[in-house]
Each structure stands twice: as structure tokens, then as C-alpha cells.
Chain A
Amino acid sequence: MELSFLIYKVLLVLGVFTLSLVIAMYTTYAERKVAAFLQDRLGPNRAGPFGILQPMADGVKMFMKEEFIPNRANLFLFILGPGIAMFTCLMTGAVIPWGKDYVATDGTHYPIQTTDVNIGILYLLGVVSVGVYGIMIGGWASNNKYSLLGALRASSQMISYELAMGLSLIALIMITGTLSVGQIAEQQLGWHWNVLYQPLGCLIFIICAFAETNRAPFDLPECESELVGGYHTEYSSMKLGFYLFAEYINMFISAAVISTLYFGGYNFPVIYNYVTDPLWISVVSFGVMMMKVCFFIFLFLWVRWTLPRFRYDQLMNLGWKVLLPLAVLNILITGAIILLRQL
């Protein structure tokens, strides 16, 4: 392995890491701003111009707060919980293609993707399901019944929706014929966005992504009225911050995955007509990707401040009795169409 290749990859990893953190930071700001705007308010506007330093202020507050660990908690697991949550959500960014590969004049490829493994989607699903451990361990290690109930609710919700999510992805894999996220993104050149071929699958995937990230209307894991707080009841200061921050990173990654798998990723129909320089193509495609991601993050916020949350049995009904059969139906329809085309 060449040294330059290694350095390039390390830089890429650091870049994706920073990108995730910065975007998640500003999503917390955007959330408050969007919430305010949707409710005819102004939102944070005191820290810096338009309040853009608000995330820093929030961060300082999180670090300065009293750190409290319950006496009867399992210390190791208690600290491990938020760590796992943070770790898994940062890992998922590795397989997402952020832009079109830059091919230098001497023929070397510079992919704007940390690694294009040929089992990318399996990797995504695998890492996402490890995220459940973060919540479950956190709730269990707190040694608090409310936390445990919260963790139970969170993990059963996430596992239920992971099923429908996986099944909706199977239909997608059937038409793309590959598990590599990079290839799926590349196939959607021009207008061949997967959402046009898989509208139902896309809808199911988006709904499941909302449930996976514990966003409204699926934000059942946290609940002040019946669970005191949820799986993070006993957490304070930056450990709580890690859980909440992991949720925002998850949101960013989900937005990136939705736009990569279904909405053309870094492709946009007209850019290749105007941009020809390979370097600029990479830059512009990265910009396009970011725009799509920002739109989906906005969608997350928009839905949160529009829809009321589910009751827990409704949530389970929707997951098991509606989304799961629909996803299976989607597979059947997709399979039938593929077979018909081969005749």
C-alpha cells in the first residue's frame, strides 16, 4: 500500500468525521431555529450574529454541568453506553459516497468516499443495529427502572423497524443488483433516481429511518410523562450530550443514506451538461449531495414540528402490521416486474 494512498484515506476519514460533527452541531441549532420559525418565533439569536454561536454555548454548558453517576450503576457499562452510541453513528459515514470520484490526469482515482466495500448496505445495517446496544446498555447500566423501560421501548422500536427497513432495501438491491453503496449512487445518473422505481420502498425506508433515529413522530424512547426521561434518565452532562448528539449525527447519516440510496446521491440531472472539468465535477457533486442531505435534515425537523407522536401500541402496529407486510408486498411486486421484463 502506498503511503500517499494511506494519507489520502486518513484525510478522508478525518474529513468525514469533522463533517459529521459540524453538521450535527449545526443541526441542533437548525432544529431550534426551524422549530421557532414553524411556530412564528425567532429562535436563538443572541449568541453571535443570528445566534450561530449557539451550538458552542450549548456545548460549553454540556461540559460545565455537574457529572453525576448513580452509586448503584454499573460504572463500566454506564460509560460504555454513550460511547457505543457515538461510535456507531460515526462509523456509518464510512461507506457513503459524498461526491463523484476525482480522476486525476495521470489516471489515479481519488474517491470521495472513505471506503467502497462491496457489502456496503450490509455494513450500514449491521452498524446501525449495533447502535441499539448503546441505548440498551445505557438504560440497563443506570440501574433505574424507568431507564430500563425506556431502553426496552427504544430497543424494541428500533429492532421492529429495522426489519421493515431491511426488507425495503431488499427490493432496492433486487433492481440495482449490487450491495455497494458507491455503485448504487453511480447507477442513478441523470434522472434514474431509485425513488422513481421504488416509491413504496422509499416511503417505507424513510419512515423506518425516522423510527431508527428516534425522531418524532417515533420519539417514544424519550418521554417525560411516563418514563421520567427515558433510557438516559440517569445521564447528565456530556454523557447525556453524547446520546443527544449521536441522535443528531444519526439524523445526518440517515439523510445521507436516504439521498444516496433513493434520491440520486451526488447526481443531479443537469450538472454534467455544464461542468466538464473533473475536479469541478467532484466539487459540484459534493455540493449537490450536501444540498440533498440538508433538505432531508430539514424534512426530519419539519416532520418533528408537524406531527404528534404515536402511542406505543400504534407504533408497534404500524411497524409490524403495516410496514412489514407492505415491504414484503413491495418485494413481490418488484420481483414480478423484474421477471416480466426478462420474458
Chain B
Amino acid sequence: MANLTNRSIIVVKKEMTLLERIYLPAIFSGMLITLSHFFRRKATVSYPEVKRPFAATYRGQHVLKRDEMGRERCTACGLCAVACPAEAITMTAAERKPGEENLYREEKYAAVYEINMLRCIFCGDCEEACPKEAIFLTDRMPPALYKRGVLVFGKNILVEGVSADKRTDVTKRQTANVLEFKKNNRYAHNR
């Protein structure tokens, strides 16, 4: 049979020598190996005290961004819902009333915006699809909850706060490269 890789090894059923049959040398060398692990650096992270840093591009829980004036960026165009392969996103659009200009950036906004976190696969396609830079995935872990119902996240959870300290930093996800990449439809299949 032809070799697919060069890694195949021919199995030899050789008689074991006396030293091998006594087993003790093998046992001692094995014990030395385990002992050497005794002094190695431990892989454990003491979780609540020490947290492993996430990559800047980690795709965790979503955030709906506000703009620099504190208005919601989302215009309820529905592109994220269309892009979502898991069909986790639903929304209801509403029209901005006069006097609400400080709340919503565009004339149309999402009165209801829900992501079903049980369906979401955190692929990041919503982020890619959004033409208004409104939805981003963050480096936050989505919480583990006991009830399924509460895992449909509405705007009360998704929209970031108005004050500066409640804003979510997504600059790392919006580097010049990323923005350039988003413009180029040629790579859309590659996201």
C-alpha cells in the first residue's frame, strides 16, 4: 500500500530483552518523568482572583453601541438579522418621534431588539453586516443562567450605558485594517 504520509512506522513484534521484561527500569524512568512534572510551572488559573486575558477579537456577548452624543446607533435595518446564520436576532422597528433626537441617531430605530443567546453561535456575522457600526461582539463572557427564558436578551441588556464609564471599548475591533476589510465585498465569503 502506498504511503500517504511519511510518518507511518512498521510494527515490529520483537521479543523483549530481559531488562525490558523485568519492567523495573521502565518503571523508574516513568517515575522520573512524573517527578519532573512535580516541579513544572502549573497550568492552573485560580479563576475568580486571576482571569485569563481575552484576545481583543474574542467574540463574546454583544453590545449595541451609542454614538458620541449618546444616541443609539441602531437603525433597525435588519441586516444583522438577515446575516445571522442561527436566526437568533429579532427586532421591531419604530419611527422616531419629534423630541427624541437625543435618543436615536436615525429616523428609524429598534423599539425591540432581541438576541436569543441560546441560538447565538457567536460567529460575528452581525458585527460584519452592520452598516451603522451599531452591534459589536465584546470580550465579555455571556453569563450562564438557570432559566432558558431569561436568555433572550433585550435592549435593557444589550444597549450600552450613556455615561463614559459605561461605554464598551470596541476600538480594537475597528482597526484600520478591519474597516478596510469590511469595505471590500470580495472577501465577504471569508469572514
Q: Do these two chains really belong together in a complex?
A: yes
Q: Which of B33-41, B111-119, B172-180 lines the interface with chain A? A: B33-41
Cβ A306 vs Cβ B43 within 8 A: no
A interface majority secondary structure: loop
- Asked if A40 lies at the interface with its beta carbon under 8 angstroms from chain B, I say yes
Of the residues A34, A41, A303, contact of B42 by C-beta under 8 Å: A41
Cβ A37 vs Cβ B30 within 8 A: no
Q: For B30, list chain A residues within 8 Å (CB).
A: 306-307
Cβ A42 vs Cβ B37 within 8 A: no
Cβ A40 vs Cβ B31 within 8 A: no
- Asked if B163 lies at the interface with its beta carbon under 8 angstroms from chain A, I say no
Cβ B31 vs Cβ A306 within 8 A: yes
B residues 64-85 touching A (CB-CB < 8 Å): none
Task: Tell me the bound Cα distance from A40 to B39 in angstroms.
Answer: 8
**CB-CB contacts of B22-61 with A at 8 A, as 1s and 0s?**
0000010011011101101111101000000000000000
Cβ B34 vs Cβ A302 within 8 A: yes
Cβ B38 vs Cβ A41 within 8 A: no
Cβ B34 vs Cβ A305 within 8 A: yes
- Among the interface residues B30, B44, B46, which one has the most CB atoms of the partner chain A within 10 A? B44
Nearest B residue (CB) for A39:
B37
Q: For B31, list chain A residues within 8 Å (CB).
A: 302-303, 306
Task: Tell me the bound Cα distance from A254 to B43 in angstroms.
Answer: 33
Cβ B34 vs Cβ A41 within 8 A: no
Q: For A305, list chain B residues within 8 Å (CB).
A: 34
A residues 281-305 touching B (CB-CB < 8 Å): 302-303, 305
Q: For A45, list chain B residues within 8 Å (CB).
A: 46
A residues 242-287 touching B (CB-CB < 8 Å): none
- Asked if A38 lies at the interface with its beta carbon under 8 angstroms from chain B, I say yes
Task: Tell me the bound Cα distance from A266 to B36 in angstroms.
Answer: 29
Nearest A residue (CB) for B22:
A322
Task: Tell me the bound Cα distance from A38 to B31 in angstroms.
Answer: 10
Q: For B44, list chain A residues within 8 Å (CB).
A: 36, 40-42
Cβ B34 vs Cβ A42 within 8 A: no
Task: Tell me the bound Cα distance from A37 to B25 in angstroms.
Answer: 23
Task: Tell me the bound Cα distance from A41 to B40 in angstroms.
Answer: 10
Task: Tell me the bound Cα distance from A87 to B27 in angstroms.
Answer: 34
Cβ A40 vs Cβ B40 within 8 A: yes
Task: Tell me the bound Cα distance from A207 to B140 in angstroms.
Answer: 53
Nearest A residue (CB) for B40:
A40
Q: For B40, list chain A residues within 8 Å (CB).
A: 40
B residues 137-188 touching A (CB-CB < 8 Å): none
Q: For A38, list chain B residues within 8 Å (CB).
A: 34-35, 37-38
* Minimum CB–CB distance for A53 against chain B, Å: 17
Cβ B42 vs Cβ A40 within 8 A: yes
Cβ B35 vs Cβ A302 within 8 A: yes
* Minimum CB–CB distance for A72 against chain B, Å: 39
* Minimum CB–CB distance for A45 against chain B, Å: 8
Cβ B37 vs Cβ A307 within 8 A: no
Nearest A residue (CB) for B39:
A37
* Minimum CB–CB distance for A217 against chain B, Å: 9
Task: Tell me the bound Cα distance from A36 to B42 in angstroms.
Answer: 9
Nearest A residue (CB) for B28:
A306
A residues 28-51 touching B (CB-CB < 8 Å): 34, 36-42, 45
* Minimum CB–CB distance for B34 against chain A, Å: 4
Nearest B residue (CB) for A299:
B31
Q: For B42, list chain A residues within 8 Å (CB).
A: 36-37, 40-42
Task: Tell me the bound Cα distance from A303 to B44 in angstroms.
Answer: 23
Task: Tell me the bound Cα distance from A37 to B37 in angstroms.
Answer: 7
Task: Tell me the bound Cα distance from A10 to B171 in angstroms.
Answer: 75
Chain A interface residues (CB < 8 Å from chain B): 34, 36-42, 45, 302-303, 305-307
18 contacts between A and B (CB under 8 A): A36-B42, A37-B37, A38-B34, A38-B35, A39-B37, A40-B37, A40-B41, A40-B42, A41-B44, A42-B44, A45-B46, A302-B31, A303-B31, A306-B27, A306-B31, A306-B33, A307-B27, A307-B30
User: Apart from A34-B38, A306-B30, what are 11 other A-B pairs with CB-CB below 8 Å?
Assistant: A36-B44, A37-B38, A37-B42, A40-B41, A40-B43, A41-B44, A45-B46, A302-B35, A305-B34, A306-B27, A307-B27
Chain B interface residues (CB < 8 Å from chain A): 27, 30-31, 33-35, 37-38, 40-44, 46
